[in-house]
Structure 1
């Protein structure tokens, strides 16, 4: 066989082999994409269950309940010897005792057929203010008791106070946490519950963290009862999407593209199972419809909800009567403990003229 014939056969063999190689590479790439997609879904599903599914045995909510129980027992055992952790530690202890002694149970059934629970408190002052009510909303994985010092402050001003347990929390029913989006409708129902008993009710909404998001989202609803006079949002996030992205970047140190893929997958799972997507659950969008006076508070050292959220929600709020307060050095949900004097001075100045206190 001549050299030319040998070279011709080699070229033919190479041409025949190239399609097979391309097919193998395509198959490998397809398999890798499938495996990558499956891994992403499994991780997103795990994170969804861990974060938002209260029925999951290893959910953050279940773990928080167990931790809170152990921490509570530990605090009771060392109360006389513990150093104050906050500038308002004494107030917190007094408010905790008042909360446990003064609370009265209240229940309603929400639009989803879930039985929701709250604690009610009478005014704790010599001159109660007629028709004045405050609803204090707790944060993610917390409970009404964490709002004790806020409830006590408002009760001392003359308010009748309600501290609801968000769906899935404490004694309230529910499976999926709504990060404020599902809870906004529950909050409106608590307002209607008050108004049904007192048609002249004037209501203040107050929330911390996820409770603040609940308040902000509720304030943007067209069906917000006119009885709601004002609202306070302490360290609330801009949207569920932004909060999940922030946590994915800061807690898990994921690159932006990977964080976006994870959060998008979680959002799709949430839309299918819990009935809401992370982008629609937006305080920024809801506040575009807000019209009541609002006070936004945040700590400058908050490493869980970005302090940048304060400017975003403040700018988004359409109400002509809005105020903002940044507490220097305060961590997440620690503004009132970091600088109690500045915190309550601003809150009192905001609330008093609106409720004739």
Structure 2
């Protein structure tokens, strides 16, 4: 009996460690250090020049909202308005241990190159948003949906919207795709998102620690439910995609091993219809934009124009 109790305590402790390691990595310092993020993103000269041009006229703005569910965290986003009142609006969602600032090269593509409105949120526990852990896209989807709800107050009532995300941001996009969204949301773009939090953590457990899923994944999942109120298994992009009716563009690099390229087939198959895909040759995780910058912009723009053509 004592042995069983000791084993259970060890297993629970290991699960507690895993949730902290995965959902509060290093205090998420890189994502919350905005000065570091600005310095890092400005290494891309085209993005730096765009940011300077925005700042010179006060065009890069930010705003806060308070999330609907308790605790009442403040959530932050950057935004840039287009010169045309009829322009489409793109919501750009960042990835794991990143923040909205890291998505500024993508925001530049949508704003400077394509002429769209852009809103770039900081997900919880990132950038200037409150929060006590990384939500891996599952409850982030609810926060992004709240941002979507207030877009007309920022950009005007006659808007049409596309949502774009990379990595965990892509998982967020797929996870919100199965929810009821406002009629002005017209298209979704996911770039290298995972099938589920369970599947991604299971893969990382094997890759990083050479451990099987039992028992650690199960105890960690229990700890996550107890501490944060959500489940690795429930956080499932595949199940949400099965309910999705909006047009979606799937992008994944064929050399991606962090979020395995093999996940793309399962994700794409789960979406019943209105789907497009780009298997980017030899691109590693979140590398497609950087490896094929011109083609990335062309493909994304064509997809958006096909589904939001009336407001361009």
Compute the TM-score of the two structures, normalised by the length of structure 2: 0.89
- Determine which structure has the larger helix proportion and give its number: 1
Corresponding position: 1:347 with 2:303: no
Q: How does 1:43-54 map to 2 (within 5 A)?
A: 43-53=14-24
Change in CA separation of 1:138 and 1:289 when aligned onto 2, cut-off 3 Å = same
**Distance in 1 separating the partners of 2:37 and 2:148:** 33
Q: By how many angstroms is 1:61 displaced?
A: 4.2
Match of 1:304 in 2: 258
Q: CA RMSD in A?
A: 2.4
Contact 1:231 1:292 in 2 (8 A): yes
Match of 1:221 in 2: 179
Q: How does 1:329-348 map to 2 (within 5 A)?
A: 329-348=282-301
Q: How does 1:1-357 map to 2 (within 5 A)?
A: 30-53=1-24, 59-65=25-31, 89-95=44-50, 97=52, 102-112=59-69, 113-123=72-82, 128=84, 130-156=86-112, 157-196=114-153, 198-222=156-180, 224-254=181-211, 256=212, 259-318=213-272, 320-356=273-309, 357=312
Change in CA separation of 1:200 and 1:68 when aligned onto 2, cut-off 3 Å = closer
Contact 2:141 2:173 in 1 (8 A): yes
Change in CA separation of 1:212 and 1:97 when aligned onto 2, cut-off 3 Å = farther
Change in CA separation of 1:142 and 1:99 when aligned onto 2, cut-off 3 Å = farther
**Distance in 1 separating the partners of 2:245 and 2:119:** 23
Contact 1:129 1:159 in 2 (8 A): no
Change in CA separation of 1:67 and 1:196 when aligned onto 2, cut-off 3 Å = closer
- Give the number of aligned pairs: 304
**Distance in 2 separating the partners of 1:244 and 1:93:** 35
Q: By how many angstroms is 1:38 displaced?
A: 2.1
Change in CA separation of 1:93 and 1:303 when aligned onto 2, cut-off 3 Å = farther
- The higher relative CO (CA closer than 8 Å, separation ≥ 6) is in 2
Change in CA separation of 1:188 and 1:335 when aligned onto 2, cut-off 3 Å = same
Change in CA separation of 1:204 and 1:70 when aligned onto 2, cut-off 3 Å = closer
Identify which range, 191-200 or 148-157, moves more after superposition. 191-200
**Distance in 2 separating the partners of 1:294 and 1:272:** 34
**Distance in 1 separating the partners of 2:40 and 2:289:** 24
The unaligned stretches of length 5 or more in structure 2 are: none
Compute the TM-score of the two structures, normalised by the length of structure 1: 0.78
Change in CA separation of 1:148 and 1:307 when aligned onto 2, cut-off 3 Å = same
Secondary structure of the residue that 2:284 maps to in structure 1?
A: coil
**Distance in 1 separating the partners of 2:204 and 2:228:** 20
Larger Rg, first or second structure (1 or 2): 1
